[in-house]
Structure 1
Amino acid sequence: MRYVILFLTLSIFQAGAQQLSGKVLTEGDPMPYANVYIKGTSIGTTTDENGNYNITSLKKGNHTIIASFMGYKKQSKIINITNNNTVLNFNLQESESLEQIVVTGTLKAVSRLESPVPVEVYSPTFFKKNPTPNIFEALQNVNGVRPQLNCNVCNTGDIHINGLEGPYTLVLIDGMPIVSGLSTVYGLSGIPNSLIEQVEVVKGPASSLYGSEAVGGLINIITKLPENAPLFFVDNFVSGWGEANFDLGFKSSVGKIADVLVGANYFKYSNAIDNNNDNFTDVTLQDRISIFQKWNFKRKQNRLFSLAGRYFYEDRWGGEMQWDKKYRGGDAVYGESIYTSRYEIIGNYQLPISELVNFQFSYSDHDQNSYYGNMPYMAQQRIGFGQLIWDKKLDHHDLLFGLAARYNFYNDNTPATLKPDEVTIPSIFVQDEIQLSEKHHLLLGARYDYDSRHGSIFTPRIAYRFKPTNNDIIRLNAGTGFRVVNLFTEEHAALTGSRDVIIKGTLDPEQSYNINLNYLKKIYTKGGQIFTVDASAWYTYFTNAIIPDYDTNPNQIIYENLDGSSVTKGLSLNVDAVLGSGIKASAGATFQDVSQKENGVKTRQILTERFTGVWSVSYKHYPSNLTLDYTGNLYGPMRLPTLGELDPRSEESPTWSIQNIQLTYETDANLQFYVGVKNILDWTPNKGNPFIIARSHDPFDKNVEFDTAGNVQATPDNPYALTFDPSYVYGPNQGRRIFIGLRYTLK
């Protein structure tokens, strides 16, 4: 009888208690020690070293099963348990949005979810969807950020944020403001993409923490920590146009003293192509090398000490197809030839005291030897920067105090620089983030700078964060910004072409006033999809704005402080989605109005689009380890710099788009092969125009006739009354091309 009772008891138990098993994967690889549990209960387990899990004692019926791991997005699935043995597998995706740690908005490492300042974060995975040889091009798929080419010949450019010109954007490397002036135009190309941990973007003034140049926003390029980097990595690709890009890096331990990360980038393009038949290179030829090294020293009590350095050299030229170096600086054959030599040092040292005080420092030396036709431009720029930061928490106050000094040296051979420009700007700043309650945070900040050329400059800011739920955040930011202008380091149009440069009066610092409203929402669906919605509205008002005037006289570029105001305002929306089944997508749009008003007349700013759009769609087929990426952008019409009423070129650009597709195969040995097509629509800006470069057949204006007032005369050889001008540029001249590459990582 006892055996009968035991048999019935086991049968009843087995009828009511089932078993659930399966695997937890990430990118197709097993994930050991991940958590798997039943929502609303204490029943759960962790995966073994092969990613397997097993849960027993489950009752029949519907259950929500959740798999999670630190740094990855939770995944939940609803399943109806009916069988004794049910198999359920998970595939976790790396967290790429709210949970990331950011440092840019407040100079402190905080969760993006907790930051009172809206910060956009982009991981290396984002940039690998459309591989590029430099960070300048990689930013083309960031909503509201546009790499702007400023010259058809030498293809140099800058980065626009929310319609503002490149000089308003401050670019940082590891939080240090060393990419500015000359290097904003010429130095962004040499940062090896494989060394980037993440890129943080703040839209709107940040001068209260970062000083001059952070007027329109800032981009912080954060490099990998040596301890988090792979042992060895390589990334190499070539394109059908003959471009070759090579990234290489490794890390090593130097005894018990330090960890070191070494990386190098080499880019070569030597294939002169003229598809638009104007006898000028469509793309600048380049030979570039960049070497980077970063040390993390091990200290007592885990105090921080890091030191990094980079050397960059580039030889680039563009011009008439028959140009070579023997024509450099002459007027026989036109070419723009630029030699750039640059080095940088960055450091961060935590003082050996009980309080949390860091000394951050950087130094950069930039030497440029260049000719634009027969016009020499020889320039040197040196920037030294140091700041002490004291991070102090008191009750509900998170305080930050800072003392900073910036040394600027600039010299060139232009008539505008009669003597070297040398100045040291001391600064003091303070910031207080106040936790009013669990849902309400308030940040107050102010900065004082003294510039001997312009006197005292005060820049306050305020930020308010309201978090009504764990998945909703509202941020309101307001502040001021300032920018001290160094014209020839920032305005490439002043150096190229035949327009005369006119500088009216002393150029005073620009001042801005900004307000920005941001709403971020995270949406989790029952089907396991995740959506992140990020919407912003902004308004920025400028006084003393310096905007190049191409309109008053088509043969001149006039620079002066605007006797009026300049305004940029707009709306942006980003949606990121993890749709399951290996599909991820993102899309963004920005609508903006950038204008200036002088003497009661409102004018739309030149080379500024009314709207932009970006998107990316990725699909991974796990059984075959194949990933398909489709990326693209869309730009609305811009007002363009034409050369008078007879100029036959369109006064506005068309709506245009660059779209790319890529297929990646990944082996189990961390080896990736990728192939794709860039610019699949084969769009170039010459379509719809009779020409892009004005008078490309006469680049030295030898056959241009002028009247006594200096105006160009229409002649049979020059029916449109034009001079040579390569500044009519708004997009890349490079058409469709195939690329193929290989990545290998040894962890």
Structure 2
Amino acid sequence: MMKKLLFLLWLITGLTVCGQAQQQSGEIKGRVVTGAEPVAFATIGLVGTTQGANSDENGYFHLRNIMPGSYRLQISAVGYVKVLKSVTVGEQPVLLNINLTKSDQQLQEVVVTGNMKETYAKLSPIHVEVYTPKLFQKNPTPSIFEALQMVNGVQPQLNCNVCNTGDIHINGMEGPYTMVTLDGMPIVSSLASVYGLSGIPNSMIQRIEVVKGPASTLYGSEAVGGLVNIITKNPAEAPRLAVDVMATSHQEYNADVALKANLKKASTLVGVNTFWFDNRRDVNGDNFTDITLQKRLSLFNKWSLNRPENKVANLAARYLYEDRWGGEMQWSPDFRGGDSIYGESIYTSRLELIGAYQLPTAENITWQFSYNSHDQNSAYGKTMFQARQNIAFSQFLWNKQMARHDVLVGVPFRFTFYDDNTPGTQTRTGSNQAQRIYLPGIFVQDEIKSSDKFTSLFGLRYDYNFTHGGIFSPRVSFKLAPDQQNIFRLNIGNGYRVVNLFTEDHAALTGSREVVIADNLKPERSWNASLNYQKFIDQNNGYLGLDGSLFYTYFTNRIIGDFLTNPNQIIYQNLQGYAISRGLTLNLDWAFTFPLKINAGATFMEVYSVQDKETGQTEKIPQLHAPKTSGTYAVSYTFRKAGVSVDYTGRLYGPMFLPVLANDFRPDKSPWFSQDNLQVTKKLPHGLELYAGLKNLYNFLPRDPLMRPFDPFDKTIHLNNPNGYSFDTSYNYAPMQGRRGFIGLRWTVK
């Protein structure tokens, strides 16, 4: 299959070169200005071709050897609004004078996550970070879960070295504290974990919005540490066809296809994603697969109706099936659930439905709804875990502007059905009893624009949990913008979360540790404050954006798995004390008039809990898998005449505490390490892009990720084992996947 893909890419490239060799004769020349001033180093290109040029220091440009015909000329420069112009090339030169208008890049970004309604990012009192697929294409990945490693302060964390289950950490907070939504709807439930993020076709994604800090006032439980909102494309505006196929030297194959059709009264977008990895690898020789083997298929379809006055009417559905397993190299499905050959096998089936309908009334009222069904059949060694979760969500939003007030009122209702074969759904008599959780609520938000420089926001939410009673979640935000180049934001809010242990903590199911629930687990509660500062600097040679945030979160109750008190147990109980997450994040976005762009970020944080001991003293316990220092970076340079761009991306990890066993020979902290990637992309005619590169350039691999891999069922635990070690899969901090090459092809038809 790899040979066929390489032959196809070679054939496409060869045909392209032959086509370019034909005789060409036309030319376009002119000048790019803004008012009376020249615009130096602007990019001028013919859409759908590799032909282009740059304006010189006086704004002049010249394109030669163009075949006669009609074209669309695109003119762009850092800090200016892009211009598209139709031109017809003949035997005589085309003479143009292009006038560009300066733009505020941040002002052009539209966001919805911060306050549930569309606004410009720069105007929002809630700081929202926006990431487009262009960033993630600098390091292509087969899933959103892996792609998020490029976002500063957001850490995709693998929680098991055998089945590679993971979650998303924001500012050191574990995955259950991060809410992941699709078009604003709570689709990725706690049971879904990384599975809900797998198979969302990258070609369907318009942008990803990230809010750090509690968002419970608008989004309810789970949005304690932050929110990741995946915005899918509007079918009416999407390209007619988008294709992205990729293969790696480890024999991973990924295909992503999206097709759009415009009908008389509607537009539809169909997406298909498939991922295939069936190559057993054991680089470290522990007789366990380094990376889980996966077969995944995802189907996505979104409809958008054309309605009077552009009122919203969208409906989307997605189906995902995945078969993944990891374990001993000789494992096969015949050993599933047995105790002779160890394997962790997960069959996942998901169905998702999302919709929004704006009522045909004078008032701005929108009905939003979603439904997801997650069926999981898992075997962790001889431990079987079979679970089913259905979540139905409905919400009415009323938005009203009155003078300086922008009021938003929401009436949400969420129903969760959950059933599994663990003690989590058993009664005291031992019989099974599925959980049915009804969660009605109401929230009110008032955004007050006192002046062009000062905006305040006040919000309050009340949810009634039929098990835990009423829960209030207030929020207050202030934005001060003394001028166009400086913005200050202060946010203070409350977060809460209702814990469902077996759906959220993979460690409770895998390995050989006994699970001990020492308390009647109560909802987790926290208070958060963050101060954000943004600086925008227009430079003669480009544009510089700076972003910094101080954050502080105080938990009055938190459920933390205790791996250290007893090496053979995981103890869960209500926090007897308090927990804190605090730190600083810095981001830099630097674009030059010459074809260089730099994105860099760093996070410095401390996450820990303080437990009250029976002696009356307190004990400070650091958060596992939360490095005090981390950073992301992406450096891109384009050779415009050749149509070639080079991207160097990576993430730096500082030491993080790890779950060690008693007398563990392995260090309790990971080392400093980075995972770096290099990619070269060649633009071809007719919307084609060919890309290739290397991942994990320096071939970093963690050491000794598994304890006693030769005895995964602890059958010989009492033989030649003076330290009493037992099989354990939780000591992890990086994927067991070394350096690998990749090659791919993108094709976009607009």
Range class of TM-score, shorter chain: 0.7 to 0.9
Asked whether 1:328 is paired with 2:346, we answer: no
Whole-angstrom CA distance in 2 between matches of 1:394 and 1:71: 36
Asked whether 1:683 is paired with 2:697, we answer: no
Query: CA distance change for structure 1 residues 695 and 316 in 2, over 3 Å: closer, same or farther?
Result: same
Equivalent residue letter for 2:203: S
The within-5 A match list for 1:702-713 is: 702-705=715-718
Whole-angstrom CA distance in 1 between matches of 2:424 and 2:79: 64
Whole-angstrom CA distance in 1 between matches of 2:717 and 2:515: 19
Kept in 1: contact 2:78–2:593 (CA 8 A): no
- Look up the match of 1:554: 567
Of residues 348, 357, 364 in structure 1, which corresponds to 2:372?
364
Deviation at 1:23, TM superposition (A): 10
Whole-angstrom CA distance in 2 between matches of 1:614 and 1:657: 9
Whole-angstrom CA distance in 1 between matches of 2:374 and 2:645: 41
Asked whether 1:123 is paired with 2:132, we answer: yes
Whole-angstrom CA distance in 1 between matches of 2:141 and 2:42: 33
Of residues 719, 726, 750 in structure 2, which corresponds to 1:723?
726
Of residues 136, 141, 144 in structure 1, which corresponds to 2:150?
141
**Unmatched 5+ stretches in structure 2:** 1-35, 50-54, 59-69, 85-94, 427-432, 613-617
- Look up the match of 1:601: 619
Whole-angstrom CA distance in 1 between matches of 2:740 and 2:37: 54
Kept in 1: contact 2:79–2:538 (CA 8 A): no
**What is the SS of the residue equivalent to 2:424?**
coil
Kept in 1: contact 2:48–2:685 (CA 8 A): no
Asked whether 1:314 is paired with 2:317, we answer: no
Query: CA distance change for structure 1 residues 23 and 515 in 2, over 3 Å: closer, same or farther?
Result: closer
Deviation at 1:738, TM superposition (A): 0.1
Asked whether 1:424 is paired with 2:472, we answer: no
Whole-angstrom CA distance in 1 between matches of 2:475 and 2:365: 23
- Look up the match of 1:701: 714
The within-5 A match list for 1:270-289 is: 270-289=278-297
Asked whether 1:524 is paired with 2:541, we answer: no
Kept in 1: contact 2:481–2:487 (CA 8 A): yes
Deviates more, 1:97-106 or 1:656-665: 97-106
Deviation at 1:564, TM superposition (A): 0.5
- Look up the match of 1:215: 224
- Look up the match of 1:711: none
Q: Deviations over 1:171-192 (max 9, x none)?
A: 0000001112111232211111
Q: Deviations over 1:591-623 (max 9, x none)?
A: 000010012221211221111000000001110
Deviation at 1:90, TM superposition (A): 9.8
Deviation at 1:668, TM superposition (A): 2.6
Kept in 2: contact 1:195–1:224 (CA 8 A): yes
Q: Deviations over 1:655-696 (max 9, x none)?
A: 11000000000013110000000000100111xxxx221110
Deviation at 1:96, TM superposition (A): 6.5
Whole-angstrom CA distance in 2 between matches of 1:21 and 1:327: 68
Deviation at 1:69, TM superposition (A): 2.5
Kept in 1: contact 2:110–2:119 (CA 8 A): yes
- Look up the match of 1:291: 299
Query: CA distance change for structure 1 residues 112 and 161 in 2, over 3 Å: closer, same or farther?
Result: same
Kept in 2: contact 1:151–1:492 (CA 8 A): yes
**What is the SS of the residue equivalent to 2:108?**
coil
Kept in 2: contact 1:314–1:341 (CA 8 A): yes
Equivalent residue letter for 1:736: R
Kept in 2: contact 1:25–1:92 (CA 8 A): no
Whole-angstrom CA distance in 1 between matches of 2:585 and 2:147: 20
- Look up the match of 1:674: 691
- Look up the match of 1:736: 739
* Runs of 4+, deviation exceeding 3 Å: 18-31, 48-53, 65-68, 86-98
Whole-angstrom CA distance in 1 between matches of 2:709 and 2:550: 42
Whole-angstrom CA distance in 1 between matches of 2:338 and 2:235: 47
The within-5 A match list for 1:577-596 is: 577-596=590-609
Asked whether 1:152 is paired with 2:161, we answer: yes
Kept in 1: contact 2:79–2:543 (CA 8 A): no
The within-5 A match list for 1:51-450 is: 51=73, 68-69=80-81, 97-254=106-263, 256-418=264-426, 419-450=433-464
Whole-angstrom CA distance in 2 between matches of 1:70 and 1:625: 19
Whole-angstrom CA distance in 1 between matches of 2:140 and 2:608: 34
Whole-angstrom CA distance in 1 between matches of 2:702 and 2:99: 47
Kept in 2: contact 1:236–1:247 (CA 8 A): yes
- Look up the match of 2:554: 541
- Look up the match of 1:43: none
Equivalent residue letter for 2:196: G
The within-5 A match list for 1:505-516 is: 505-516=519-530
Kept in 2: contact 1:25–1:90 (CA 8 A): no
Query: CA distance change for structure 1 residues 67 and 545 in 2, over 3 Å: closer, same or farther?
Result: closer
Equivalent residue letter for 1:496: T
Whole-angstrom CA distance in 1 between matches of 2:344 and 2:103: 45
Deviation at 1:51, TM superposition (A): 4.0
Of residues 589, 606, 614 in structure 2, which corresponds to 1:576?
589
Deviation at 1:624, TM superposition (A): 0.3
Deviation at 1:301, TM superposition (A): 2.3
**Unmatched 5+ stretches in structure 1:** 1-17, 40-47, 54-64, 73-85, 706-714
Deviation at 1:98, TM superposition (A): 4.4
Equivalent residue letter for 2:729: P
Q: Deviations over 1:440-485 (max 9, x none)?
A: 0000000000001000000000000000111111000000000000
**What is the SS of the residue equivalent to 1:133?**
coil
Whole-angstrom CA distance in 1 between matches of 2:39 and 2:253: 48
Kept in 2: contact 1:649–1:692 (CA 8 A): no
**What is the SS of the residue equivalent to 2:710?**
coil
Equivalent residue letter for 1:163: G
Deviation at 1:719, TM superposition (A): 3.7
**What is the SS of the residue equivalent to 1:208?**
helix
Whole-angstrom CA distance in 2 between matches of 1:266 and 1:93: 42
**What is the SS of the residue equivalent to 2:661?**
coil
**What is the SS of the residue equivalent to 1:322?**
coil
Whole-angstrom CA distance in 2 between matches of 1:240 and 1:96: 38
Query: CA distance change for structure 1 residues 239 and 322 in 2, over 3 Å: closer, same or farther?
Result: same
Query: CA distance change for structure 1 residues 87 and 302 in 2, over 3 Å: closer, same or farther?
Result: closer
Q: Which protein is bigger by CA-based radius of gyration?
A: 1
Q: CA RMSD in A?
A: 2.5
- Look up the match of 1:6: none
Whole-angstrom CA distance in 1 between matches of 2:183 and 2:83: 22
Deviation at 1:492, TM superposition (A): 0.2
- Look up the match of 1:78: none
TM-score scaled by structure 1?
0.87
Equivalent residue letter for 1:470: Q
Whole-angstrom CA distance in 2 between matches of 1:26 and 1:685: 47
Query: CA distance change for structure 1 residues 91 and 28 in 2, over 3 Å: closer, same or farther?
Result: farther
Q: What percent of counterpart residues are identical?
A: 51
Deviation at 1:49, TM superposition (A): 6.7
Of residues 629, 633, 655 in structure 2, which corresponds to 1:615?
633
Query: CA distance change for structure 1 residues 437 and 90 in 2, over 3 Å: closer, same or farther?
Result: closer
Of residues 623, 631, 637 in structure 1, which corresponds to 2:655?
637
Whole-angstrom CA distance in 1 between matches of 2:214 and 2:45: 38
Of residues 479, 503, 506 in structure 1, which corresponds to 2:517?
503
- Look up the match of 1:44: none
Deviation at 1:253, TM superposition (A): 2.0
Deviation at 1:27, TM superposition (A): 6.4
Equivalent residue letter for 2:671: P
Q: Deviations over 1:691-738 (max 9, x none)?
A: 221110111000113xxxxxxxxx42x243211101111111100000
- Look up the match of 1:12: none
- Look up the match of 1:663: 680
TM-score scaled by structure 2?
0.87
